[in-house]
Structure 1
Amino acid sequence: DGVRKWNKDILIYLPNAPDQVLQEILNEVIDEINFLSETISLRLVNSVERSNFILFFGSGEDYVKQWEPSAANLIASNRGLFSIDYNSSSYEIVSGNAWIDVTLVADYACLKHLLREEMTQSLGMINDIYSDQESIFYGNYRCFTDYTARDKVFIAEFMSEKIKPGQCISQVLERITID
């Protein structure tokens, strides 16, 4: 099975605007991902028709009803999720969505973590890790708000021209150099 990756800009639509603090956090995350990526950029758009990615702030129930019915069995045990659709022959991600639970999570540090984690994993780095508890990719729920230095290197390498959609994991790991 090959690596899934975006080969075009991610145009993000927010069907329900977050509060000002969360909007600032989102802008920070977008800016940081754009800084780390050499292949694509993330931008907010003002209509669902122009978008290829929906970012939903709200309850899990509303997310399932409005955007991702297949997540119905996952919302009870999560406070954020993402889903991506990709071309099965080219492995290029063509669309996606993410959910951040602002109804059960009130702490901005945890919301920042959730937003950063779901947006980053929806780029194609979909797997959780369990070896680095401070990583944004750490699989157990923690509220670390920033990328680690290793996360930044991994994201930059993954979002470079070196990594192509469809490459197998071993090819990707050969091309990513993290100390």
Structure 2
Amino acid sequence: MHSKLVTLAAIATTALPLSVVLPILPRPATLHAQTLYRTDPSVAIDYFLEVALGSEFGNNDPQIKKWVEPLRIKVHGSPTPEDRRILRTVMQELNALTNIDWRFDSTNPNVDIYFVPESEFHQYEPNYVPVSYGFFWTWWKNYEISQARILISTTEINQRERAHIIREELTQSLGLMRDSYRFSDSIFFQGWTDVTEYSELDKAVISLLYRPEVRPGMSKEELLDVLRTSSR
């Protein structure tokens, strides 16, 4: 999910109506993921636990959720040619990082992506929480994700911002459903950003989720046991 609240300047928020004005509170200083990950690779496990357990909305169940079948994507609405190019690029990168097959499938999709105005989001996903320019909703059984719906706004944001949102929403619909204020150059950064590439830390986190030994339904304690054992 990606949203922004505009007052005198663009500041970050999380799914708040534009009519709501909150005091600007100091946030902890953010770090650059690239720098920290190079000096301490173990930070990937901590960051993985932060973004992989629970979700921003709906059932905030702190167990691992992930796909175990290929993702079959159908595109709806009015994407630009650049939107389509970015979508193909992100799918190729995620295919390499997850070893899960990503492909376009207009007849039997399990991922529907809508490029529509934000004002129409509720028509396509009743669970939509305004105001967000990107939003996803997933369904799972026994913690195995079986379906996703992704909404990308075609209004009020520019092409670079939409490129970021395409990457973020696809990535989070994999099962990495939480945002974080820790790393400003991460695709999972909670604040408003237009990052359009994965950091090395992002890549490590995505790959961790799709290791064979990381199974749907695992708790934090089970994950720590598996990840610490495999990293020895």
TM-score in terms of structure 1 length: 0.87
For residues 173 and 120 of structure 1, do their structure 2 counterparts lie closer, same or farther at Cα, with a shift above 3 Å needed? farther
Matched, 1:125 2:176: yes
Q: Is the 8 A contact 1:61 1:75 kept in 2?
A: no
Question: AA paired with 1:147?
Answer: Y
The answer to whether 1:13 aligns with 2:64 is: no
Kept in 1: contact 2:112–2:149 (CA 8 A) = yes
1:105 aligns with 2:163: no
Q: What is aligned with 2:130?
A: 75
Moved over 6 A (4+): none
Q: Deviations over 1:47-89 (max 9, x none)?
A: 3xx0111111111232311x21121xx232x1101000111xx
Work out whether residues 78 and 116 of structure 2, in 8 Å CA contact, stay in contact via their aligned partners in 1: no
- Measure, in 1, the Cα distance between the counterparts of 2:221 and 2:194: 30
| Counterpart residue identity of residue 82, structure 1 | F
Deviation at 1:3, TM superposition (A): 1.1
1:140-151 maps to which residues of 2 (within 5 A)? 140-151=191-202
Q: Which amino acid aligns with 1:46?
A: S
Equivalent residues in 2 for 1:23-38, closer than 5 Å: 23-38=84-99
Amino acid paired to 1:62: E
Measure how far apart 1:171 and its partner are. 2.9
1:98 counterpart letter in structure 2: I
Q: 1:170: how far off?
A: 3.5
Give the conservation status (yes or no) of the 8 Å contact 1:56–1:98.
yes
Point out the structure with max Rg over C-alpha: 2
Q: Tell me how far apart the structure 1 counterparts of residues 148 and 118 of structure 2 sit (CA, whole Å).
A: 16
Per-residue CA deviation, residues 131-176 of structure 1 (Å, 9 max, x unaligned), is 1111000111100110000100111121221211000134335527
- Summarize the Cα distance change of 1:92–1:34 in structure 2 as closer, same or farther, 3 Å threshold: same
Percent of residue pairs identical? 27
Equivalent in the alignment of 2:50 = none
**What secondary structure does 2:77 align onto?**
coil
Matched, 1:134 2:194: no
Aligned length: 168
Give the CA deviation at 1:2. 1.6
Secondary structure at the residue paired with 1:164? coil
CA spacing shift, 1:148–1:173, aligned 2, 3 Å: farther
- Say whether the 8 Å CA contact 2:78–2:154 is kept in structure 1: no
Point out which structure has higher relative CO (alpha carbons under 8 A, 6+ apart). 2
1:45 aligned onto 2:96: no
Distance 1:10 1:173 in 2: 27
Stretches of structure 2 lacking an aligned partner (at least 5 in a row): 1-61
SS of structure 2 residue aligned to 1:70: coil
Contact 1:82 1:98 in 2 (8 A): yes
Which whole-Å CA distance do the structure 2 matches of 1:75 and 1:159 have between them? 30
Paired residue for 2:117, among 59, 64, 67?
59
**Structure 1: which 5+ residue stretches go unaligned?**
none
- 8 Å contact kept, 2:138–2:173: yes
